[in-house]
Amino acid sequence: MKPRLDNSCALVIVDVQNDFCPGGALAVRDGDAVVEPLNRCAALFARAGALVVATCDWHPPDHCSFRAQGGPWPVHCVRGTPGAAFHPALRLPADAVVISKAEGPKVESYSFFGEPGLEQPLVERGIRRLFIGGLATDYCVKWTALDAARRGFETFVLADAIRGVDAQPGDSARAVEQMKSAGVKLVTVEEVAEGVAR
Ligand code: VGL
Ligand code: ZN
């Protein structure tokens, strides 16, 4: 499976933020291992004239997903804090589009498409194929990929550029199976690179 990279493609880098990396408030094991393959991928997309989007979890201090508010998570990715910043080694192209999500205190949104009005600009730019990588496999990556596939985008997940929370053992593996069942294709960054070379 070597998809050809052109401007009908967009790369969606999901939540590569300090709080989801080792040492962060909601650390994903080896979360920082996604940075290098995503940097490589972002450079390939930029060279192909394809859009790069980076999402960030961007919560108010009293967000409904935090335990003090009855949610499942420790306080994480509070807007404007160091934990909410992108991993310092992440290299985004100058014209990358940054999208904040789950900004309202009462709104949880694991999916990029949970924020209204994001699909139309992609469609208007002729984007039909989305390549998704980042954190976390079993939450924001999964829901973004499932939503993308449901909306009719040809949807690829970058198998070597995702890591999961695995609150229950096997959650990430199950997430991958669920994505595949929904028609999402798994590709490696190397396969994407080969698609550019042709
Ligand atoms: C995420 C848990 C809580 C994610 C965000 O980015 O996958 N997971 N907030
Ligand atoms: Zn969150």
Mean pLDDT, the chain, whole residue set: 95
For residue 117, the model assigns a pLDDT of 87
Q: Mean of the pLDDT values across residues 135-152?
A: 97
- Grouping H, G, I as helix, E, B as strand and the rest as coil, residue 92 is coil
Q: Which atom of ligand 1 is nearest to the CA of 17?
A: 6
Q: Which residues are near ligand 1 (CB < 6 Å)?
A: 15, 57, 65, 73, 110, 135-136, 139-140
Q: How far apart are CA 194 and CA 179, in angstroms?
A: 23
Report pLDDT digits (tens) over 163-175: 999 999 999 999 9
Query: What is the percentage of the chain residues whose pLDDT exceeds 70?
Result: 98
Report pLDDT digits (tens) over 86-124: 999 999 999 999 999 999 999 999 999 988 888 999 999
What are the structural domains, with CATH classification, of the chain? Answer: 9-193 (3.40.50.850)
Determine phi and psi for 161, rounding to 5 degrees: -130, 35
User: Measured in angstroms, how far is the CA atom of residue 48 from the centroid of ligand 2?
Assistant: 32
For residue 4, the model assigns a pLDDT of 85
- Which of the ligands is closest to the CA of residue 13? 1
pLDDT band at residue 141 using 50, 70 and 90 as cut-offs: very high
Instruction: State the catalytic residues.
Output: 15, 101, 140
If you take atom 6 of ligand 1, which residue's CA is the nearest one? Answer: 140
Strand ranges (E), the chain: 9-14, 51-57, 97-101, 129-135, 154-163, 185-187
